[in-house]
Amino acid sequence: MATGTKTQTSPTTQAPPPKPKEGRGWLWSLLLGLLILGLVATVPFVGNAADLHNWTLIIMFAVLAQSWNFIGGFAGYSAFGNVVFFGIGAYTTGLILLANLPFWLGLIAGALVAGLFALLLGLPVLRLRGHYFAIATLGIAEAMREFVTVRDVGGGGGGLISLPLPSLDSYVLFFYAFLGLSLLCLLITVFLTRSRFGYALVAIRESEQAAEALGIPTYWHKVGVFVLSAVPAALAGGLYAYWATGFDPDTVFNVGISVEMVLLTFLGGAGTILGPLIGAIVFEYTSFQFQASGFTLHNTLLGLSIVIVTIFLPQGILRLIQEFARQPAPGERRANPFVEGVRRVRRFIAANGV
């Protein structure tokens, strides 16, 4: 919240609706994002091989969450099958590598194929809304996994692909490639918060009918952002393919990854610049700490986190901090900061209950 302004909001029982950043908020978010990525970039110098492995995956999930944020956070469309683009990117790159063609060609081909697939898929399914859209996207991911398995696309039995191993020091390169991709997604997100295209997406999220009435071609905006969210996911899939060197349909078309994208975005704050990045770092880092301590039930952890986040943090960490730091409205009695903060958070939570 800008501090100098005199604008004051009346006390409401509901949490303030998500709104685009005002003033210079976006600049601070961008700088903070660059700072976070800059700090993460030091991992190869200060950490060991295990740290590098973990942080590569953390940043990969950050990219996936950031790309989901375009369609889910900005346009408000609950795409639950975005893992399909990750898988398509991985398989396209894998097949190109198996044909002894260069890796960069595989990445580009993966992005193109996934983008085209998103366009062709988006044309029918983006006419659907709400539950129907969500299930249709979930269904395509399941159907694709089944198709790749039954047709044995990878040629290794059940769709399995095995690639030649990349040399060991190139793991650092993969890490920086993921980091660069995350930076790209950050810049796209900032662009979305500052451009007509992004405003139109937020308008669609808040009320699609009103957006349509304002003359926004909502359908084509939705198709556009669907493709936009598919391409980074496919690039991440292509990088993952060569980094992991072997994968099967159950790994790269795992619907759990889709859900993880959604969770990470929600945890940080959907529709914000930094939300997906922060959510990914917080959750995945915690998850790796659990794994290191011998707790192997990843899905239990994921499920429990989802339950906790959806009940207690439906607006994400960032908005929770904003709510804590908010100036008290006129007539609002100011208790000590901690009690006041807890009261605000409880109001935040109670808004969704019966």
Partner 1 sequence: MSFGQVLVNWLLLGSLYGAVALGFSLVWGIMNIVNLAYGALIIVGAYTAFWLYTDLHIDPYLGIPLTMAVLFIIGWIIQYVVINRVIRAPMLVTFLLTFGLDLLIIDLVQQFFTSDLRSINTAYAGNGIDIGSTHIPLPSLIAAAIAILLTAALNFFLTRTRIGNAILATGMDRDAARLMGISIRHTYALTFAIGAALAGAAGALLSQLYPFDPSEGGTFTLRAFVIVVLGGLGTPWGVIAGGLVFGLAETVFPLIPGVGPGYDDAIAFAVLVLVLIFRPNGLLGKPFYS
Residues lying near partner 1 in the complex (CB under 8 A) are found at 72, 76, 78, 80, 124-125, 127-128, 130-132, 134-136, 138-140, 142-143, 145-147, 150, 255-256, 259, 262-263, 266, 297, 299-300, 302-307, 310-311, 314, 349, 351-354
Q: Minimum Å distance from CB 124 to partner 1?
A: 6
CA dist 196 and 219 (Å) reads 15
- Interacting residues of 309 by C-beta distance below 8 A, sequence separation 6+: 263, 266, 267
- Interacting residues of 4 by C-beta distance below 8 A, sequence separation 6+: none
Q: Minimum Å distance from CB 149 to partner 1?
A: 8
Identity of the residue numbered 95: L
Enter the tokens of residue 288.
């790796």
- Of the pair 92, 149, the CB lying nearest partner 1 is at 149
Q: What is the CA radius of gyration of the chain?
A: 21
- Of the pair 130, 215, the CB lying nearest partner 1 is at 130
CA dist 41 and 38 (Å) reads 5
Q: Minimum Å distance from CB 87 to partner 1?
A: 14
Q: Minimum Å distance from CB 256 to partner 1?
A: 7
Q: How many CA atoms lie within 13 A of 269 on its CB side?
A: 19
Q: Minimum Å distance from CB 129 to partner 1?
A: 9
CA distances from 205 to 81, 193, 256, 271 (A): 19, 13, 25, 10
- Of the pair 56, 145, the CB lying nearest partner 1 is at 145
> Taking a C-beta distance cutoff of 8 angstroms, is the pair 275, 265 a contact?
yes
The DSSP 8-state label assigned to residue 234 in this structure reads H
- Of the pair 55, 226, the CB lying nearest partner 1 is at 226
Q: Minimum Å distance from CB 103 to partner 1?
A: 31
Query: Which of 187, 190, 186, 212 shows the shortest CA–CA distance to 200?
Result: 212
Beta strands 246-247 and 161-162 are antiparallel
Query: Which of 147, 143, 140, 148 shows the shortest CA–CA distance to 79?
Result: 140
328 backbone dihedrals φ, ψ, rounded to 5°: -65, 140
- Of the pair 15, 239, the CB lying nearest partner 1 is at 15
- Of the pair 130, 331, the CB lying nearest partner 1 is at 130
Q: Minimum Å distance from CB 1 to partner 1?
A: 23
- Of the pair 289, 352, the CB lying nearest partner 1 is at 352
Q: Minimum Å distance from CB 354 to partner 1?
A: 5
- Of the pair 245, 291, the CB lying nearest partner 1 is at 291
Q: Minimum Å distance from CB 179 to partner 1?
A: 27
- Of the pair 60, 140, the CB lying nearest partner 1 is at 140
CA dist 265 and 62 (Å) reads 9
